[in-house]
Structure 1
Amino acid sequence: MKPSMRSRQEPRRVSNGVIIAAMLLSLCVLSIVKARYCSTPFAKPDDQLQEQMNSSIRMETDEPASKAAGEQEEEEEESPAAAAGAVPEVSTTTPTVVARGGKGRPTCFMTSKRSERCEARGDIRVEGNASTIYIGGIDKEWKTKPYARYHDPVAMAYVREFTLKPADEFAPACTKNHSVPAFVFSNGGFSGNLYHDYTDVLVPLFLSTRQFKGEVQFLLSGLKPWWVNKFTLFFRQLTKYDILDIDNDRDVHCFPRIVVGATFHKDMGVDPARSPGHVSVVDFKRALRRAFGLERAAASRGGATGNGKPRLLIISRKNSRRFLNEREMAQAAAAMGFDVRIAEPDQHTDMSTFARLVNSADVMIGVHGAGLTNMVFLPRGAVLIQVVPFGGLEWLTTVTFKNPAKDMEVTYMDYNIQLEESSLLDQYPRNHQVLTDPYAVHKQGGWDALKTAYLDKQNIRMDMDRFKKTLQEALDRLPPA
Structure 2
Amino acid sequence: MKTRSSGRGGGEPRRRLRNAAVMALMLSSLVALSLVRARFSPIASDGGEALKLKADESKLVVTTNHAVVNTESGDSSSSSSSSAAAEEEEEVAAPAKPAGGGGGGGGGARPVCYETSRRSDTCEAAGDVRVVGGSQTVYADTLDREWKTKPYCRKHDAFALSHVKEWTLRPLPSGDGDGGGAAVAPRCTTNSTATAFVLSTGGFTGNPFHDYTDVLIPAFITAHRFGGEVQFLVSSYKSWWMNKYIQIFQQMSRHDVVDVDADGDEVRCYRSAVVGPEFHRELGVDPTKTPSGYSVLDFRKMLRGAFGLDRATATPSGDRWDIRRRPRLLIISRRAARGRAFLHERAMADMAASLGFDVRVGEPDASTDTSKFARLVNSCDVMVGVHGAGLTNMVFLPAGAVLVQVVPYGKLEWLARNTFAEPSSAMEIHYLEYAVQLDETTLSEQYPADHPVLRDPMAIHKQGWEALKTTYLDKQNVRPHLGRLKNTFLQALKLLPHDKETMN
Percent identical across equivalent pairs?
Answer: 52
Q: Indicate the SS of the match to 2:95.
A: coil
Kindly tell me: are residues 406 and 137 of structure 1, through their superposed partners in 2, closer, same or farther at Cα, counting changes over 3 Å? closer
Q: Indicate the SS of the match to 1:236.
A: helix
Task: Report if the CA contact (8 A) 1:304-1:361 is conserved.
Answer: no
Q: How does 1:329-340 map to 2 (within 5 A)?
A: 329-340=348-359
2:333 is aligned with 1:316? yes
Distance 2:102 2:385 in 1: 47
Q: Which residue of 2 aligns with 1:403?
A: 422
2:263 is aligned with 1:258? no
CA offset digits 1:319-347 (Å, max 9, x no partner): 21000011111111111111000000112
C-alpha deviation, 1:116, in angstroms: 0.3
2:470 is aligned with 1:456? no
Q: Which residue of 2 aligns with 1:267?
A: 282
Which of 1 and 2 has higher RCO (CA within 8 Å, sep 6+)?
1
Gaps of 5+ in 1: 1-50, 70-89
Distance 2:388 2:145 in 1: 44
Distance 1:304 1:232 in 2: 36
Q: Which residue of 1 aligns with 2:324?
A: 307
C-alpha deviation, 1:364, in angstroms: 0.3
Task: Report if the CA contact (8 A) 2:104-2:144 is conserved.
Answer: no
Kindly tell me: are residues 52 and 475 of structure 1, through their superposed partners in 2, closer, same or farther at Cα, counting changes over 3 Å? farther
C-alpha deviation, 1:414, in angstroms: 0.4
2:264 is aligned with 1:247? no
1:118 to 103, 115, 123: 123
Task: Report if the CA contact (8 A) 2:327-2:356 is conserved.
Answer: yes
Distance 1:455 1:405 in 2: 22
C-alpha deviation, 1:61, in angstroms: 3.1
Q: Which residue of 1 aligns with 2:158?
A: 153
Q: Indicate the SS of the match to 2:447.
A: coil
Q: How does 1:226-237 map to 2 (within 5 A)?
A: 226-237=240-251
1:469 to 445, 463, 487: 487
2:292 to 277, 280, 288: 277
1:164 to 153, 164, 169: 169
CA offset digits 1:59-114 (Å, max 9, x no partner): 85359xxxx99xxxxxxxxxxxxxxxxxxxx94268465369xx9x9700111110
2:452 is aligned with 1:438? no
Distance 2:346 2:194 in 1: 54
Task: Report if the CA contact (8 A) 2:104-2:143 is conserved.
Answer: no
User: Rg bigger for which structure?
Assistant: 2
Aligned length: 404
CA offset digits 1:367-411 (Å, max 9, x no partner): 000000000000011000000000010001100000000000000
2:135 is aligned with 1:130? yes
TM normalised by structure 2 equals: 0.76
CA offset digits 1:426-481 (Å, max 9, x no partner): 000111001111111111x2100100110010000111111111111111111115
When the two chains are superposed, the root-mean-square deviation of aligned CA atoms in Å is 2.6
2:385 to 366, 382, 385: 366
C-alpha deviation, 1:179, in angstroms: 1.5
Distance 2:307 2:322 in 1: 20
2:95 to 92, 113, 124: 92
Gaps of 5+ in 2: 1-64, 81-92, 176-182, 500-504
CA offset digits 1:16-43 (Å, max 9, x no partner): xxxxxxxxxxxxxxxxxxxxxxxxxxxx
C-alpha deviation, 1:309, in angstroms: 1.5
Task: Report if the CA contact (8 A) 2:341-2:386 is conserved.
Answer: yes
Q: Which residue of 2 aligns with 1:478?
A: 496
Distance 1:397 1:304 in 2: 31
CA offset digits 1:280-319 (Å, max 9, x no partner): 1011000001111111121146799873521010000012
* Higher mean C-alpha displacement, 203-212 vs 302-311: 302-311
Distance 1:305 1:356 in 2: 22
Letter in 2 for 1:92: P
TM normalised by structure 1 equals: 0.80
Q: Indicate the SS of the match to 1:237.
A: helix
